[in-house]
Amino acid sequence: MKCSLPLGYSQRVGTKEAQVTAEEVQFLIDLVRANAKVARPAIMEQVVNSSFVEKARRDLGLTR
């Protein structure tokens, strides 16, 4: 599926420290769902496994 996001959306979830909030991820999920005309709701935990990101952040010494 191809989904091109306007710059404003990518700036809304952009980050320098490899960290986004659950609300920002949910925003992107909802945006893609709407673009793909998918009616079934999806929550972040059903779509994203962030455990590898948390481990990488710890390994790099990035704090919350």
Q: What is the pLDDT of residue 22?
A: 85
In a domain, 49, yes or no: yes
Specify the number of domains making up the chain. Answer: 1
Q: What is the pLDDT of residue 1?
A: 47
In a domain, 6, yes or no: no
Q: Which residue has the higher pLDDT, 64 or 62?
A: 62
In a domain, 10, yes or no: no
Pairwise CA distance, residues 8 & 43, whole Å: 22
Q: What is the pLDDT of residue 12?
A: 57
At 14-59, the pLDDT tens digits run: 566 667 788 888 988 999 999 999 999 999 889 888 888 888 888 9
Q: Which residue has the higher pLDDT, 63 or 2?
A: 63
In a domain, 4, yes or no: no
Q: pTM (2 decimals)?
A: 0.61
Range of the domain at 50: 18-59
